């Protein structure tokens, strides 16, 4: 037996000897399936289910580097040949298009040994009338046209093929669907003499599913529909429709799930009301009201039935559509989301914030936290940021000592072990993680903040001071010594 094989057995022994023992029976070798000669050749492919890393969580980076090295030495043909780039495929059905009539498409990286598929919906705001769509086309054309899309993309975060960056999904079949419909993935109208632009977000998803069935999706065990920002809202609007589409095509065995990142917006009152002139200044409720008519937007029937005719815009807001969903959905949302603050007209431009803004920001965190209290699977850090799951640093953020990849792994396991409603999380494997501290960046694992003007990194206290946080006043309100409050802020308590 080779040295590499001996090392692998020792590593697996470490896993087996770890505390608890949950999830051991569910282990499968990761990477493209390698069958033993003889009896296994005719067997049905096993689901490529993630390892249980409980025993090695304290030294995950080192462990994953060793696993990758060993996989490459034991199976050089499969591990080293694994393509890291996602390749562009334009849709065969040329009638399903981007805003400008160019063909929509998707980027694909196949993983032949895996029965897990991850489909990611890109984000990028929206436009809701001819004027601001024209402006968007002039300034952000790649979000409205496929004409200049590159032939390949490199996946990052949850789309990465590197186990160090993506510990539990690195070996899945990866699909990145570029956003070129400007309609929050809801539209169903084609370009015509009357319509200068097509809005076909919902139809693009359906067409991608049809094409992927012929590329291996038909044998999938799990399909995770993920998305960030407008793509996160798109997940909420489309996850049940994808499940229904696959059932109608005869693939009832595929478990469809959703992962909505930074798409859980509030229809709250703006800090300072402004006229609905463009995407940034328009209140989200009014923008979606106008947009859903302009796009011929469609929403899930179960949600639509909850509201009066003409009030379908309500289904674009997570806390209103979530109770109507049939598929399990994991919600990832910063408590102080930058896009939410932007549409609420709270602009953090480097000047100290006024007391009214500060109170508004704190209240926003409380409101968002309240809307998530009945969401079974959630991850909500008290940070000022936007989007996370495709960022390189997504493994660094923690809530109550648990990272986002770990929380998603726990959710995976709870669903895999027949708890299909996810309401009985495994011991020591939390899936409802919401920060309770009340200020932006009171969580010490939040992404680094830089001064807008100097570019220098700021710690939590420097950031709060920069925003006009009054330590003396806040300490007095909390009944604490200022030094004690500063210590709590530094440690994230």
Q: Could you give the percent of the chain with pLDDT greater than 90?
A: 58
Which residue is it, tokens 């803004």?
Answer: 357
Residue pLDDT, tens place only, 72-91: 444 444 444 455 699 999 99
Q: Round to whole Å and give the CA distance between 202 and 310.
A: 19
Name beta bridge partners: 436. Answer: none
> What is the distance in angstroms between the CA of the first residue and the CA of the last residue of the chain?
51
**Distant-in-sequence contacts of 407-413, Cβ < 8 A, 24+ apart:** 407/330, 407/377, 407/379, 407/431, 407/433, 408/168, 408/169, 408/259, 408/330, 409/50, 409/53, 409/167, 409/168, 411/328, 411/330, 411/377, 412/49, 412/50, 412/168, 413/22, 413/23, 413/26, 413/52
| Two tokens, residue 318 | 């997570």
Beta-carbon count within 10 A of 220 CB: 22
Specify the domain boundaries for CATH 3.40.50 within the chain.
82-443
Q: Round to whole Å and give the CA distance between 40 and 312.
A: 52
Longest dimension (CA), the chain: 75
Residue pLDDT, tens place only, 357-374: 888 999 999 999 999 999
What is the average pLDDT value for the chain, to the nearest integer?
Answer: 81
Name which of 376, 226, 241 is nearest 304 in CA terms: 241
Using alpha carbons, list the distances in angstroms from residue 82 to 11, 25, 257, 389. Answer: 23, 27, 26, 22
Contact status, residue 469 vs residue 475, Cβ threshold 8 Å: no
Higher local confidence (pLDDT), 488 or 374:
374
pLDDT at site 70: 52
Q: Round to whole Å and give the CA distance between 35 and 249.
A: 30
pLDDT surpasses 90 at 485: no
Residue pLDDT, tens place only, 401-433: 999 999 999 999 999 775 444 455 577 899 999
Beta-carbon count within 10 A of 322 CB: 20
* Options 48, 229, 262, 378, the catalytic residue: 229
pLDDT surpasses 70 at 3: no
pLDDT at site 490: 54
pLDDT at site 251: 96
Phi, psi of 370 (to 5 degrees): -65, -35
3-state secondary structure of 59: helix
Scanning 102-159, the segments in alpha helix (DSSP H) are 130-139
Residue pLDDT, tens place only, 282-314: 888 999 999 999 999 999 999 999 999 999 999
Residue pLDDT, tens place only, 100-121: 999 999 999 999 889 999 999 9
Using alpha carbons, list the distances in angstroms from residue 321 to 32, 90, 120, 282. Answer: 37, 31, 20, 22
* Options 337, 344, 412, 435, the catalytic residue: 337
466 noted as active-site residue: no
| Two tokens, residue 260 | 């909505």
Contact status, residue 121 vs residue 235, Cβ threshold 8 Å: yes
Contact status, residue 103 vs residue 146, Cβ threshold 8 Å: yes
* Options 386, 409, 432, 441, the catalytic residue: 386
pLDDT surpasses 50 at 50: no
pLDDT at site 64: 52
Report, as an integer, the average pLDDT of 35-63. Answer: 42
pLDDT surpasses 70 at 385: yes
pLDDT at site 36: 35
Cα-based angle 257, 263, 269 (whole degrees, multiple of 5):
140
pLDDT at site 481: 72
Band (355; pLDDT cuts 50, 70, 90): confident
**Domain 82-443, classified CATH 3.40.50, yes or no:** yes
337 noted as active-site residue: yes
Residues 6+ apart with CB under 8 A from 427: 20, 22
pLDDT at site 204: 98
Q: Round to whole Å and give the CA distance between 55 and 219.
A: 32
Q: Round to whole Å and give the CA distance between 308 and 423.
A: 31
| Two tokens, residue 221 | 């065990």
Most confident segment among 80-94, 178-192, 345-359: 178-192
Cα-based angle 250, 251, 256 (whole degrees, multiple of 5):
140
């Amino acid at each position: 037996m080779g040295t590499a094989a001996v090392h692998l057995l020792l590593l697996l022994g470490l896993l087996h000897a770890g505390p608890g023992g949950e999830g051991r029976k569910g282990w499968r070798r990761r990477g493209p399936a390698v069958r033993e000669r003889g009896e296994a050749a005719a067997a049905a492919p096993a689901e490529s289910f993630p390892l249980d890393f409980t025993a090695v969580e304290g030294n995950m980076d080192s462990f994953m580097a060793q696993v990758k090295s060993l996989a490459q030495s034991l199976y050089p043909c499969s591990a080293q040949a694994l393509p890291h780039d996602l390749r562009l495929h334009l849709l065969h059905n040329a009638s399903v298009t981007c805003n400008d009539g160019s063909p929509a498409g998707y980027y694909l990286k196949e993983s032949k040994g895996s029965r897990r598929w991850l489909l990611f919906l890109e984000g990028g705001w929206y436009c809701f009338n001819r004027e601001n769509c024209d402006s968007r086309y002039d300034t952000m054309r790649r979000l409205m046209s496929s004409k200049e899309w590159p032939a390949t993309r490199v996946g990052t975060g949850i789309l990465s093929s590197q186990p160090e960056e993506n510990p539990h999904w690195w070996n899945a079949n990866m699909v990145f669907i570029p956003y070129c419909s400007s309609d929050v993935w809801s539209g169903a109208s084609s370009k015509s003499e009357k319509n200068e632009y097509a809005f076909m977000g919902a139809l693009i998803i359906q067409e991608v599913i049809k094409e992927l069935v012929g590329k291996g999706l038909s044998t999938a065990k799990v399909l995770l529909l993920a998305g960030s920002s407008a793509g996160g809202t798109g997940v909420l609007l489309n996850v049940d429709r994808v499940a229904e589409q696959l059932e109608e095509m005869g693939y009832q065995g595929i478990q469809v799930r959703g992962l909505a990142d930074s798409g859980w917006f509030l229809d709250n009152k703006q800090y300072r009301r402004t006229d609905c002139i463009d995407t940034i200044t328009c209140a989200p409720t009014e923008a979606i009201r106008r947009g859903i008519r302009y796009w011929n937007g469609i929403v899930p029937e179960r949600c639509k039935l909850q509201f009066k005719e003409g009030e379908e815009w309500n289904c674009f807001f997570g806390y209103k559509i979530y109770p109507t969903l049939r598929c399990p959905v994991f919600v990832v949302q910063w408590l102080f989301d930058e896009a939410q603050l932007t549409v609420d007209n709270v602009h953090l431009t480097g000047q100290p914030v006024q007391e009214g803004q500060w109170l508004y920001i704190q209240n926003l965190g409380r409101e968002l936290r309240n809307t998530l209290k009945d969401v079974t699977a959630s991850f909500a850090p008290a940070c000022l940021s936007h989007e996370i799951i495709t960022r390189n640093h997504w493994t660094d953020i923690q809530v109550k000592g648990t990272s986002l990849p770990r929380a998603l792994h726990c959710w995976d396991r709870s669903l895999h072990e027949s708890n299909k409603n996810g309401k009985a999380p495994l011991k020591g494997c939390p899936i409802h993680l919401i920060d309770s501290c009340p200020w932006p960046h009171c969580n010490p694992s939040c992404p680094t903040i830089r001064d807008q003007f100097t570019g220098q990194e700021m710690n939590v206290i420097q950031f709060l001071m920069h925003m006009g946080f009054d330590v003396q006043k806040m300490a007095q309100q909390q009944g604490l010594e200022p030094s004690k409050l500063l210590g709590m802020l530094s440690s994230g308590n």
